[in-house]
Structure 1
Amino acid sequence: MNIVIAVGILVTLVTGIPVLLQLLKGHPRGLIICFLAEMWERFSYYGMRAILIFYLTQHFLFDPKAASGHYGSYTALVYLVPLIGGFLADKWLGTRKAVAFGAVLLVAGHLAMAIEGKPAVQTLTYQGATYEFQAEGRGQNREAKLVVDGKAYEVAATKVGDFEIKGLPANAPLPAVLPKADYKLDVAGRDPLYLNIFWFSLSLIILGVGFLKPNISTIVGQLYPQGDPRRDPGFTLYYYGINLGSFWASILCGLLGVNVGWWAGFGLAGVGMLAGFIVFVLGKPWLDGKAEPPEPKVLKEKVAGPINRELAIYGLSLVGLVGIFFLVQFNAIVGVALNIGILASLGYIGFFMFTKCAKEERERLALAVFLIFGAVVFWTLFEQAGSSLSLFAATNVQLDLVREPLRLFSGAVTLATPDQLAKAGIDAASTFWVDTSFNAPQTQALNAGWILIFAPVFAAVWTFLGARGKDPNPVIKFGLALIQVGAGFLLLQWGSTFADGAFKLPLIFLVLMYMLHTTGELCMSPVGLSQMTKLSPASVVSFMMAVWFLAVAIAQWVGGKIAGLAATETVGGQVLDPGAALAASLKVFNIIGLVAVAIGIGFLLLSPVLKKWSHGADNVGAPKKA
């Protein structure tokens, strides 16, 4: 029995049974379909994300800085492309067809990710001779050895940063310690075919998310009549499904990806998406005719010979894969495009504020821009989970849940990892063995797990305060979110004082860091999009929503750059100097943590002034001007 899976089942049962009971009574049947479809879609997305950074650094052998950049480009495009998918659904396709098309692309993309090919090989060149590294293991178990005269030797970095080959005999063709200037590291065997399959798979996933993600949420809203009191509780249940899928994705795909192979982790994500697609297609009758195209006749009109508008949209979208395929490989171009987009958007907002708005509307828009800034800072730090924090967990966190075999009930029950069991000489058949293995990709489940636990608590707290007129205004909530996400990173600095001789922190500090990130998310996430709709004049609401998502995309891109700053040298996907890695990570984490806390305090100090800029937008029934 695996203890991580057992705990996951317990958390799911405790938090999920009340949700299931609510789903089955008092809500439209279509909510069950949306719940399950989005749960599986998020399972596929977060399952792939759990192992993506390790696949880049340990299979293709990108250095961590380049890998973090590619990761940032991918996640930025994931948040940007839904603007197009949402527009096409509103204008022509309808949300059901858009979701189905996106699901097909996602199934294809995730399953294609399982086509991994042979891993790249790290090489070392010294005085004209080239030697290959032999790499084994995945995630935190990665180990690379240098092959010299047919024998593999462990490698490490010396205190001054030189390259050390351990146990190398004196008569070997190269010295046991190589100064940095005397050797060159390179990568061989990075097969262009499989690398391009990888980029194409990511492109399919990006486009698929673009069509599915914004529109399935819209379907949930369409299931309820205007003013239906069940609407908000329905969305709460729906968001539980999102986090349930995310929770199990990291646990199961991380387990298979590390212990079986990358193909197994990615393949399971694809199977999950296929399950979501089947549920959505079979559940069409339960949508009760909702989510259909706004004008079916227009969609069937011929636009080019026998090709109607619907097929043309699908075809042109597939052509768009070429552009995504290009962009996801070039982080700098994505950054330029995003920066041009946000600067142009801010310029237009400024023009609109001072030429089209009265004082009240102008201050509301200014507050919206201020909140967008806070969101960029928050998500930049929060999204380190899939890049720098995963690499940090693999290198500098004690992931074993027990340090040595724990025998209970006179040896009848044993808690240990497989390696600990073998080293202790304990026969697994002689005891009830509880496998305590916990790997680096699985740490990404901590955020979703905390949400499953805390989301009902926060919902109850906000409701309780709101009923008494004491619900904090959005500026305060944003400030609290920023302080908590920053404090999470600063907590790791304290944890470093408890690091062992291998420069690994106790796991509890990573668990608590994710708890702070989660409570911060629960302060910010429910209010962000809502504020864009409340603060924006009716004529620019859609534009401001687009700017919000553009800002989140920029946060992903910037997050990739920050993760690159925390990176350290690897050989064959293995970090050579864990001490240097810890120092590099903590330096970056301290800076971004302090910046976030300072900005969060600034939000709190400014909240008495800024809340006046809303001019009652948070009041029920507040008028919205054109």
Structure 2
Amino acid sequence: MTATTIPNSPAQTADTSLTTSTRQPAGLKVIFFTEMWERFSYYGMRALLVLYLVNALGYDRQNALALYGLYTGLVYLTPMIGGALADKYLGKRRAAVIGAAVMMLGHFAMAFEPLLHLALGLLIVGNGFFKANTTSMVGDLYNGESDPRRAGGYSIFYMGINLGAFLAPVVAGTLGEKLGWHFGFGAAGVGMALGLVQLLWGQRLLGRAGLMPHQEAIGARDIGLILSWTGASVALVYGVINAWAFVGPWHAALAAPVRVLLNVGVIAAILWVIARPSKDVKYEPLTRADLGRVLGIIIVMFFVIAFWTGFEQAGGTMTLFADKQTEREMFGFTVPASLFQSINPLIIVLMAPVFALIWTRLDQSRFALPDTAKQALGMIVLGLGFLVMAQAQNLADLNGKVGAQWLAIVYVIHTIGELMLSPVGLAMVSRIAPARLAAMLMGVWFLSSAAANYLAGTLEHMLEGSGLPLYPFLASMAIGAGIVLLLITPLLSRLMGLRKSA
């Protein structure tokens, strides 16, 4: 095969006639609805998982939160590997289809109690193929890093994520708590199937987004490839479950620092095997500017861990707070505890267009804020929400239960912080990542969520005996991290070659 030289600058895949327009690419709506249905399935399952473990399977609070943290942490770890596989072998679009198929199987498996661990494993592996690649495909729709529509487009994309997240507890959560857990998990599986159909059906609007140079749109000739990777994913999960029966006790016996180093080493080895240079493809070497951008992404990622560690309490301690310590009787109807998780995405659906307009107008003016400054302000806002949550917990400890308005206020404050941080971070990574590392670096970005989700499930146990209450600790951590990130923003802007958002 003739060697091909691939540049590091982002590929231009969109229609150049729209570069000066404010109209978003037609392909955005395809990825919007695909992601909406995938998030419906994910948040439908997440809304029920801790309640299902505690109220149906008899898990105690600590073990339920630990499993929740492990699952959600791994869900955001595997996109780094899935992104690397897409960058080198599969292409983003084929990887996303494989991921959707594997997750669909996982959600349907959740409807059967004996398949709990298999189901969670399939969801973890499937999300690895799907998440980073669909998110990175949004960036492929635009004309290079200077396209002014990009930040607004990611805010709209984020609205699709949260439209699905809003519908999930309303439909899957209510079905699970009122009719039976399996109805809720089954509804999540149907949602994932609709997402897969949407992605395949809408390919004509995507243009070249998500395709490698030699690839064409997905067709009948790709069925064997997709089925092979899907079957291999099922076999991998079965293998890991059986192997863990032998490895798990040995792994748990190691000291915590040794476990961390071992886990990092295994992940690094996997990534090296996947991402090492190919003999058939020669890349231009990364420039000093490229290396600065990669380093900048990694530095910001560590700060963002503080945000998501707090934010992901929504599926764990805050859901249990809604279930046990919140007055849920309204007009003779008991509001399902999972339904409170719909407040956050509802506010995002309503406010995302407003933030998209604000960022677009601000970024085109002399008052533009660097991306890292926006994210720092989001962390500070999240911390303010936990100050309110700490007061709600104090009142619940005194009186047994508190009014539903306390959780509603916290969710609204957290949502404002999320809109200042998450879509901005996604747009930043897609804009500045070297093209050949685009999907993998989007997966690396999700490492912040992986670490944070694991911490979210274990932090309450870690703080036991320390005298530090959970919610005041989270408030201090988020506000402190935000202030430090704000202070070092000028340095990061120089490192990443960004004076302001583009």
Sort the TM-score into its range (normalised by shorter chain).
Answer: 0.7 to 0.9
User: Residue 124 of structure 2 corresponds to which residue in structure 1?
Assistant: 206
How far 1:441 moved relative to its partner?
0.7
Query: Does 1:45 find its partner at 2:39?
Result: no
User: Residue 133 of structure 2 corresponds to which residue in structure 1?
Assistant: 215
Query: Does 1:482 find its partner at 2:398?
Result: no
Paired residue secondary structure (1:454)? helix
How many angstroms apart in 2 are the aligned matches of 1:460 and 1:344?
Answer: 43
How many angstroms apart in 1 are the aligned matches of 2:48 and 2:229?
Answer: 33
User: Residue 67 of structure 1 corresponds to which residue in structure 2?
Assistant: 64
Kindly provide the CA deviation profile for residues 175-222 of structure 1, in whole angstroms up to 9, marking residues without a partner as x.
Answer: xxxxxxxxxxxxxxxxxxx1xx11111112222222222223344444
**For the structure 1 residues 585 and 454, does the alpha-carbon distance in structure 2 shift closer, same or farther, using more than 3 Å as the test?**
farther
Paired residue secondary structure (2:85)? helix
**For the structure 1 residues 488 and 357, does the alpha-carbon distance in structure 2 shift closer, same or farther, using more than 3 Å as the test?**
same
How far 1:55 moved relative to its partner?
0.8
Structure exhibiting the larger radius of gyration computed from Cα positions: 1
Kindly provide the CA deviation profile for residues 105-139 of structure 1, in whole angstroms up to 9, marking residues without a partner as x.
Answer: 222211121123xxxxxxxxxxxxxxxxxxxxxxx
Kindly provide the CA deviation profile for residues 373-401 of structure 1, in whole angstroms up to 9, marking residues without a partner as x.
Answer: 21111111111111111111111122234
Question: For residues 175-254 of structure 1, what are the structure 2 equivalents within 5 Å?
Answer: 194=114, 197-224=115-142, 226=144, 232-254=151-173
User: Contact conserved, 2:54 with 2:60, CA < 8 A, in 1?
Assistant: yes
Paired residue secondary structure (2:59)? coil
Q: Greater strand share, 1 or 2? A: 1
Query: Does 1:255 find its partner at 2:174?
Result: yes
User: Contact conserved, 2:87 with 2:439, CA < 8 A, in 1?
Assistant: no
**Per chain length, whose mean CA-contact separation is higher, i.e. which structure has more relative contact order (CA < 8 Å, sep 6+)?**
2
User: Contact conserved, 1:363 with 1:614, CA < 8 A, in 2?
Assistant: yes
User: Residue 197 of structure 2 corresponds to which residue in structure 1?
Assistant: 278
Name the TM-score, length of structure 2 as normaliser: 0.77
User: Contact conserved, 1:74 with 1:328, CA < 8 A, in 2?
Assistant: no
The code of the aligned residue for 1:214 comes to A
Question: For residues 409-558 of structure 1, what are the structure 2 equivalents within 5 Å?
Answer: 416-418=331-333, 437-496=334-393, 498-499=395-396, 502-532=399-429, 545-558=442-455
How many angstroms apart in 2 are the aligned matches of 1:86 and 1:316?
Answer: 17
How far 1:344 moved relative to its partner?
9.6
Paired residue secondary structure (2:367)? coil
**Of 491, 495, 498, which residue of structure 2 is paired with 1:617?**
498
User: Contact conserved, 1:489 with 1:593, CA < 8 A, in 2?
Assistant: yes
**Of 375, 399, 408, which residue of structure 1 is paired with 2:328?**
399
**Of 281, 288, 308, which residue of structure 2 is paired with 1:379?**
308
How many angstroms apart in 1 are the aligned matches of 2:299 and 2:209?
Answer: 36
Kindly provide the CA deviation profile for residues 349-382 of structure 1, in whole angstroms up to 9, marking residues without a partner as x.
Answer: xxxxxxx999988876665444222111111111
How many angstroms apart in 2 are the aligned matches of 1:496 and 1:313?
Answer: 47
How far 1:245 moved relative to its partner?
0.6
User: Residue 410 of structure 1 corresponds to which residue in structure 2?
Assistant: none
Paired residue secondary structure (2:76)? helix
**For the structure 1 residues 114 and 364, does the alpha-carbon distance in structure 2 shift closer, same or farther, using more than 3 Å as the test?**
closer
The code of the aligned residue for 2:350 comes to I
**For the structure 1 residues 95 and 613, does the alpha-carbon distance in structure 2 shift closer, same or farther, using more than 3 Å as the test?**
closer
User: Residue 321 of structure 1 corresponds to which residue in structure 2?
Assistant: 237
**Of 48, 52, 58, which residue of structure 2 is paired with 1:55?**
52
Q: How many residues align?
A: 455
The code of the aligned residue for 1:507 comes to A
**For the structure 1 residues 340 and 491, does the alpha-carbon distance in structure 2 shift closer, same or farther, using more than 3 Å as the test?**
farther
The code of the aligned residue for 2:451 comes to I
User: Residue 139 of structure 1 corresponds to which residue in structure 2?
Assistant: none
Query: Does 1:600 find its partner at 2:497?
Result: no
User: Residue 8 of structure 2 corresponds to which residue in structure 1?
Assistant: none
How far 1:31 moved relative to its partner?
3.6
How many angstroms apart in 2 are the aligned matches of 1:453 and 1:316?
Answer: 41
How far 1:445 moved relative to its partner?
1.0
**For the structure 1 residues 29 and 55, does the alpha-carbon distance in structure 2 shift closer, same or farther, using more than 3 Å as the test?**
same
Question: For residues 158-177 of structure 1, what are the structure 2 equivalents within 5 Å?
Answer: none
How many angstroms apart in 1 are the aligned matches of 2:293 and 2:196?
Answer: 41
User: Contact conserved, 1:256 with 1:265, CA < 8 A, in 2?
Assistant: yes
User: Contact conserved, 1:99 with 1:216, CA < 8 A, in 2?
Assistant: yes
Q: Provide the alpha-carbon RMSD of the alignment.
A: 4.0
**For the structure 1 residues 28 and 496, does the alpha-carbon distance in structure 2 shift closer, same or farther, using more than 3 Å as the test?**
closer
**For the structure 1 residues 84 and 500, does the alpha-carbon distance in structure 2 shift closer, same or farther, using more than 3 Å as the test?**
closer
Calculate percent identity across the aligned residue pairs.
36
**Of 72, 81, 98, which residue of structure 2 is paired with 1:101?**
98
Paired residue secondary structure (1:398)? coil
The code of the aligned residue for 2:408 comes to V
The code of the aligned residue for 2:386 comes to F
How many angstroms apart in 2 are the aligned matches of 1:453 and 1:34?
Answer: 19
Kindly provide the CA deviation profile for residues 488-546 of structure 1, in whole angstroms up to 9, marking residues without a partner as x.
Answer: 12212223465497511222121111112111111211332444567778897776544
How far 1:476 moved relative to its partner?
2.9
Paired residue secondary structure (2:376)? helix
How many angstroms apart in 2 are the aligned matches of 1:231 and 1:479?
Answer: 20
